[in-house]
Every structure is written in C-alpha cells, then in structure tokens.
Structure 1
Amino acid sequence: MSATPLFLGPAEIRELAADLDIRPTKTLGQNFVHDANTVRRIVTASGVGSDDVVLEVGPGLGSLTLGLLASAHQVLAVEIDPVLAGRLPETVADRAPDQAAALTVIGADALKITAADLPAMPTALVANLPYNVAVPVLIHLMSQLPSIQTALVMVQLEVAQRLAAGPGGRIYGVPSVKARFFGEVSQAGSVGRSVFWPEPKVESGLVRIRRYPQAPWPVDEAHRKRVFSVVDAAFAQRRKTLRGALSGLAGSPVKAEEWLRGAGIDPGLRGERLAIEDYVALAAQLD
C-alpha cells in the first residue's frame, strides 16, 4: 500500500502560490482547495480505485491530485497554466514520492484535448472545473473520450443543479439535456466556500455522470452533433413552442410541425418538456 500523501493545507497553498508568484485569476477560474477532508470526500465520492486512470482538469497547485494519486492507478493532469504545470510534478514528488511515477502532466487547454493527446485512455474524470468553462469542458471531454465511464466534477452549485435537473423544471436546459446524452446525471453534494483560496463568492456543488453501460442510441460524433443542434435550437428561444423554435432548423413552422409529429412529439410543447430520448428521436428525423 502506498504511503499517505502529505495534503496541502491553507498555509502550504499560500506558500506555494507566493513561491510561484501566482495570483489566482478569475479568467482561469483559479480557486485552490486547501481542505484535506474535502479532498478525501471528493475522491471517495468519485469511486476511483487502483485500476482507474483518472483525468484531472485544472489541478492547480495539486490538492486534489495528491488525493487521487493515493487511490488511482494513474493520474493524467491537464493544466493550461505553464507555471502550475511545471511545478506540479515537484510538489507530488515532495509530498507523495511513492506515487510520483503515476502522475503525467499535460500542459494543454482541456477544451482542445483529444484522445491523441493522452498517453493512456482515462476511465474516470475527476476535477475541480473552472466555473467559467465548466459545462463546455465537461461536454467536450465526455464526447472526445468515450473511455471515461464515470465523471465527478466540482462546479458552481447553480451549474451542478442545472446539470442534474430533470425535464419540466425551470432550471432544466441545454446542459441538462446534453449531459444526459452520455449517461445518468445526479448531484453528489455541495461544497462550502471556506475550503478554497481565494474564497469564491458562490457555493460549489459536485455532479456525477455515469456513462450508460450500453448506449441507447448512436454515440458517434456526427449523431451527437445532430442531437445537440436540435437541443440548441429548442432552447434558443425558450418562450416559443417547439413548432416555432425549430422552424429555422426545419425550414419552416409547417415542416417543424411535421417533423415533431413524425417523432411523436406535440408541436405545442416547449423545449424544457422534452427528455433526451425525445431529442434523439427528433435528430433521427434529420438522418
């Protein structure tokens, strides 16, 4: 069994940041976790084990990375900030030397990562995602890396609630539908502000995606794009009925109505009433 890593506390986080002359920026969504119990909670909730290759996005100073290395077989850490990416291996070697060889740092933008950029195929995604790009990063990685079977990400609490929302609710929208294209989505708890430095102005939440064991629809990129184009159109003007909202995509309101009825959907409904299965059925009408 590997030795327990020395987690980063508030003092260590500030010392590391000062040493690197890091001033956390809102642009990169840099809020560093400094509470060991929160790290342990996230790792436990993720369910990763000794067989997992974990993809971590935005490892920052390494708080969550240390926790993941203690449980996973390998951690692939994608970090856009070259200063942070350069320091992370040193931090891990200093605080978890037994696990240092299991870490690979990839200096890249997570929104541009593909399978070809990674030395191994990840089985899990666990990350404290930057608030400003959380949903695009999550959707991009789930679409580009089908090897990811589970995802547990920390995002702004409101975003976690939207991702996990079901059809018919006020906060159900584009993120809710798109996340469900890949798997079952659920909230996995909330995280207070005090465990971060600097302290964010909003609460955080954990959201989990479990990829469908057997996808109930085609998951190739061309089909995914067709489904997502329908979703985007349906929610572009939320006050419109689907007959009106999809008229541009269909070519006219009349064609939109024919299209909807062909998929067994009432043209008078609005986008928030449809489940992912309905959007897949609509996309099939485009084939």
Structure 2
Amino acid sequence: MTIRLLGRTEIRNLAKELDFRPRKSLGQNFVHDANTVRRIVSSSGINRHDTVIEVGPGLGSLTLGLLDRGATVAAVEVDPVLAQRLPQTIAEHSHSEIHRLTVLNTDILTLRRADLDVEPTALVANLPYNIAVPALLHLMAEFPSIKTVMVMVQAEVAERLAAEPGGKDYGVPSVKVRFYGRVRRFGMVSPTVFWPIPRVYSGLVRIDRYETTPWSTDEEFRDQVFNLIDIAFAQRRKTSRNAFLEWAGSGNESASRLLAASIDPARRGETLAVADFVRLLQRSGESEEQRAQRVRSSST
C-alpha cells in the first residue's frame, strides 16, 4: 500500500489535536513538504535492507518517508507526547508498515547499543539544531554498524561539518566526523518547508563510513585523537609547536613529535587533516631516538 506523507495541514491538525506547541529548547521544527522528505530519503541511498536510526521524528514526516523506502526505522524521540502519538500516525498513514517501526522515548545522547534489538545500518534525521554535532558524534561512536549518514542541520553547522582544512569554517566538528568517514554537502533547505519556520536555512550533509578504516577505531585511541584535535583548536591561531607544548612537555619535545609525524611545527591546527592528528598520536609513542632517526631518514 502507498504511504501518505504528511502535509502542512496535517502537521497543524496533529499539533492542534495534541494541544502541542513546538519548543525551541528541543529544536522542534517539523518538515511539512513531501518533496523535501523524498529528497532527504533519496539522497541517503537507503533501501529495504536498511535499519535506520531517526533522531527527533516529531510528528512523523520523515518517518513515513523512510518507511515508504522500505527501511526498518528506530525512531528516537525525547518528547513523551510525540513519542506516544507517532505509532498511531504511522498506522493511519501506512497501515501494514507499522511493524517496521520502533519508537524509543529517550534522549538520543544516552542511547546505547543495548537499547536496540538490531544493529542500525544508517542514520537519517532532521537533527535538532541544539544538539546536532554531539548527537552525530555520539551515534557514530556508539554504533559502528552505521555505514551511511544523511542529516539535515542548520546551514552553518553543515558548512562546518563539510569544511576542508585551512578554510574559515574548518574546526573541531570538521575533523572529528572525518575520523569516521567521508563527508559531502547535499545542498540547502529553505526555512519555508518547516513548521514553525526557523530563522535560518538548513543544509544536508552525508557521511559515508570508511569501508576499510585507515586507523584504529577503539575507544581509547579515538579519545586520544580527539583530545589532540581539541588542543589544536583551543587556540587555533597558535602554531602547532606552541599549541601542543603542554601536551608534549616542552617546546623542543613538541617540535620533535610534530616533525616525526611529518608536520611542520609552524603550521596551525586549522590546517591539519584528521590523518595528521592520527599520525601525531601514533608517532608520539615512539622513543626520542626512534623519532630522531625517522626525522633524519625523511630529510635524506
């Protein structure tokens, strides 16, 4: 049976029925444009073999689009009123497809693998503006089974996520998401497709996890790499030598570690790619003699 997507009138009627008023504190802006929903779902590349985590399904616009694609959906909704109403909305608009929906009334930042009966293969969501980056990084870390991510975020956040080293928007989120995979922009979304209408444009970002990870992804290693990223951007105008001074213990040691990782100590953190941070951590475990030998070898 064909699934009926929600339109502007149905969104408003649902809100009225529930006596529901969107809360800015929860980033509640709901898509009411069917073409935008289809665009998001199509760009994600998901199919009937996928199990999708959807963050903040709200009144169910994108949820219906995901089910229409044939996917199984785990919808995570923090608002108890919306979480309770969602299965009814899906049943009314899709009838036989309700069995492919699971609704979890919880905070996405506390979601763990044990909370789901199956391993998700994709994340597709209109992420709440206020927690977009923390939610994205948490889910990528917690669910290594997620291979594809398609999220709609505030345009400014989309620009930061997709920024390349050295650009004005390049920062901590840009580097950390690339620890997991390749990042691409998928265009802008007008505020007029939402209710209520936000004051900013949104952007679509897709992340494809590396098929073969270039480095270790265990928690301890990831945390150490992320710590280096945080240090480098804490005072982004500093040279790498000075930024890592406290971490390394001295200026000479900082320069030595950077050179061993093939990084010019005069470069700033905002020019370093995720592979540079990984290499810096890997080489920092070498002895001073090993690093010196590596530097000598690279200069000959």
Could you say whether these structures have the same fold, taking a TM-score greater than 0.5 normalized by the shorter chain as the test?
Answer: yes
1:171 corresponds, among 169, 172, 183, to: 169
| Alignment-derived partner of residue 119 in structure 2 | 121
Q: Does 1:52 align with 2:50?
A: yes
Per-residue Cα deviation, 1:193-234 (whole angstroms, up to 9, x for no partner): 000000000000000000000001001111110110000000
Aligned AA for 1:103? L
Contact 1:13 1:34 in 2 (8 A): yes
Question: In 2, distance between residues paired with 1:193 and 1:120?
Answer: 34
Code of the aligned partner of 2:260: G
Runs of 4+ more than 6 Å apart: none
Q: Greater Rg, structure 1 or structure 2?
A: 2
Instruction: Answer whether contact 1:150 1:211 (CA < 8 A) is retained.
Output: yes
Residue identity over aligned pairs, in percent, reads: 58
For 1:189, the equivalent position in structure 2 comes to 187
Query: In 1, distance between residues paired with 2:224 and 2:156?
Result: 27
Partner of 2:17: 19
1:233-244 matches, within 5 Å, as 233-244=231-242
Over aligned residues, Cα RMSD in angstroms? Answer: 1.0
**Letter of the structure 1 residue corresponding to residue 271 of structure 2:** R
Structure 2: stretches of 5+ with no match in the other structure: 286-300
Q: Is the 8 A contact 1:151 1:210 kept in 2?
A: yes
- What's 1:43 paired with? 41
Supply the distance in 2 between the matched residues of 1:286 and 1:86 (Cα, whole angstroms): 51
Q: How does 1:84-103 map to 2 (within 5 A)?
A: 84-103=82-101
Deviation of 1:130 after TM superposition, in Å, equals 0.5
Equivalent position SS for 1:225: helix
Contact 1:57 1:78 in 2 (8 A): yes
Aligned to 1:212: 210
Partner Cα distance (2:220, 2:19) in 1: 44
Give the Å deviation of 1:250.
Answer: 1.9
Post-superposition offset of 1:286 = 4.4
SS for the counterpart of 2:151 is strand
The answer to whether 1:34 aligns with 2:32 is yes
In the comparison of the two structures, how many residue pairs are matched?
Answer: 285
Is 116-125 or 147-156 further displaced after alignment?
116-125
CA displacement at 1:27 relative to structure 2: 0.8
Q: Secondary structure at the match of 1:200?
A: coil
SS at match of 1:163: helix
CA shift for structure 1 position 179: 0.6
Does the CA contact (< 8 Å) of 1:58 and 1:130 recur in 2? yes
Give the Cα separation in 2 of the matches to 1:270 and 1:58.
37
Residue type of the alignment partner of 1:202: V
Tell me, yes or no, if the aligned pair for 1:54 and 1:72 is still in contact at 8 Å: no
Q: Which amino acid aligns with 1:246?
A: F
| Counterpart selection for 2:139 from 138, 141, 156 | 141
Residue number in structure 2 paired with 1:221? 219
Aligned mate of 1:161, from 159, 162, 165:
159
Per-residue deviation at 1:15? 1.1
User: What code does the residue aligned with 1:73 have?
Assistant: A
1:83-110 CA-partner distances (Å, limit 9, x unpaired): 1111100100111112111000011111
Show structure 1 runs of 5+ residues with no match: none
C-alpha distance after superposition, 1:162-197 (max 9, x if no partner): 111111111111111001000000001110000000
Q: Distance in 2 between the 1:73 and 1:64 partners?
A: 12
- 3-state DSSP of counterpart to 2:222: helix
Equivalence for 2:251: 253
Note the 1:103-118 alignment, pairs <5 A: 103-118=101-116
Tell me which residue corresponds to 2:283. 285
User: Residue 297 of structure 2 aligns with which residue?
Assistant: none
Partner of residue 75 from structure 2, selected from 69, 73, 77: 77
> Deviation at 1:38?
0.6
Do the aligned residues in 2 keep the contact of 1:124 with 1:148 (CA within 8 Å)? yes
Aligned-partner Cα distance in 2 for 1:182–1:188:
18
Q: Give the drift of 1:256.
A: 1.6
